């Protein structure tokens, strides 16, 4: 079999060259065909997928059909040396596997790629949310983060403070907050936000805490956008010199910004999803009920909520006084 060069995905049939496709194009075609076209995170997923597999081929430096399970193991050790989390490494290797599976299902390409090299080298899947106690921020950490975000008082700080309150007090996911538009928000005493949640359903979420509404309006006034908003206007835009002023702020950019604040607040290894875990912790502590926490998080299965909440504090007593009154004990 002829060698496949790293920068060309080349398919040979007996005696004739039939296809010559740049690797970048192959990665784009694979990512596009394996990513939900309706996902609000589609652009982030496309970027992450192609970046992970591209990193593998840049590191291995081999023709696509020459990669071995030992190469996959070597890349795993390389990723571990970079300090990446086991869950991240597993996800990146799984994307390489997905790319090979896509090739093997192609009538034109499968004839020269004989196997998926990840099959014999895939690491054991990490248990979901290992060391769960480290996932939720404690109250002091949250307060420290709030102080850091508010410190500057400029328009970016006002935007990011409003974003932070949305994450902490609404339990919306990263992409759900990032994708909000002005038409999704109704303002009254508080806010009612319409979001398309995981699973594709549209949900109206009430936010009665006035601090969230006030922070949002404060940001929009400071940015000079409040009177110019239309239903299609993105809620969050860029105000930095690194990108086009006024561009929609992506969920990736939000995550990067929050990680920067977390570092300044002394929070190591911070991930944006920790806000959702933190919300779950606080609701569980306040309610003392796993069922109420499940409802607040919007989980269909109680087992998913248990992943977020290891321990429920004291179950709130709502009935003993009234029952005692009925029995004339008081």
- 185-187: strand order across its sheet: 185-187, 191-196, 202-207
Nearest to 138 by CA among 250, 274, 298: 274
Mean pLDDT of 118-142: 73
Q: Please give the Cα distance from 182 to 161 (Å, whole number).
A: 18
Q: Please give the Cα distance from 319 to 330 (Å, whole number).
A: 14
Instruction: Give residue 294's pLDDT.
Output: 76
Q: Please give the structure tokens belonging to residue 304.
A: 């998913």
> 73-111: per-residue pLDDT in tens?
999 999 999 888 787 898 899 999 999 999 898 877 777
- Tokens 């992409």 belong to residue: 175
Kindly report whether the global pTM for this prediction surpasses the value 0.75: no
Q: Are 172 and 205 in contact (CB under 8 A)?
A: yes
Q: Please give the Cα distance from 248 to 50 (Å, whole number).
A: 22
Instruction: Give residue 7's pLDDT.
Output: 43
> 117-128: per-residue pLDDT in tens?
999 998 887 655
Lowest mean pLDDT among 176-185, 271-280, 307-316: 307-316
Q: Which residues, at least 6 apart from 322, have a Cβ–Cβ distance to it below 8 Å? A: none
Q: Are 179 and 194 in contact (CB under 8 A)?
A: no
Eight-class DSSP state of 181: B
| Residue 61 phi, psi dihedral angles, 5° rounding | 60, 30
| Residue 274 phi, psi dihedral angles, 5° rounding | -60, -25
Q: pLDDT-based confidence at 199, cuts 50/70/90?
A: low
For residues 239 and 241, which has the higher predicted lDDT (pLDDT)? 239
Instruction: Give residue 39's pLDDT.
Output: 67
């Amino acid at each position: 079999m002829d060698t496949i060069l790293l920068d060309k995905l080349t398919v040979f049939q007996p005696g004739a060259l039939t296809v010559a496709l740049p690797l970048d194009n192959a990665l784009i075609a694979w990512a596009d065909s394996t990513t939900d076209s309706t996902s609000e995170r589609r652009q982030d997923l496309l970027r992450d997928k192609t970046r992970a597999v591209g990193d593998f081929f840049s590191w291995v430096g081999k023709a696509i059909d020459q990669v071995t399970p030992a190469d996959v193991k070597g890349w795993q050790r390389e990723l571990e040396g970079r300090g990446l989390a086991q869950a991240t490494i597993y996800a990146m290797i799984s994307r390489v596997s997905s790319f090979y599976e896509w090739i093997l299902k192609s009538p034109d390409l499968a004839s020269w790629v004989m196997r998926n090299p990840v099959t014999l080298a895939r690491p054991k899947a990490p248990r979901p949310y290992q060391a769960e106690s480290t996932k939720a921020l404690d109250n002091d950490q949250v307060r420290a983060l709030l102080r850091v975000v508010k410190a500057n008082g400029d328009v970016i700080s006002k935007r990011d403070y409003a974003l932070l309150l949305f994450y902490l007090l609404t339990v919306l996911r990263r992409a759900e907050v990032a994708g909000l538009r002005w038409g999704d928000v109704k303002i009254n005493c508080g806010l009612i936000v319409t979001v398309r949640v995981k699973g594709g359903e549209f949900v109206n979420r009430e936010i009665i805490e006035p601090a969230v509404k006030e922070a949002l309006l404060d940001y929009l006034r400071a940015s000079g956008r409040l009177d110019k908003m239309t239903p299609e206007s993105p809620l969050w835009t860029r105000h930095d010199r690194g990108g086009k002023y006024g561009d929609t702020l992506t969920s990736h950019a939000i995550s990067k910004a929050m990680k920067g604040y977390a570092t300044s607040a002394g929070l190591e290894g911070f991930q944006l999803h920790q806000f959702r875990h933190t919300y779950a912790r606080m609701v569980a502590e306040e309610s003392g009920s796993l069922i109420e926490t499940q409802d607040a998080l919007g989980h269909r299965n109680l087992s998913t909520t248990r992943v977020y909440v290891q321990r429920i504090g004291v179950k709130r007593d709502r009935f003993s006084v009234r029952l005692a009154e009925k029995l004339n004990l008081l």
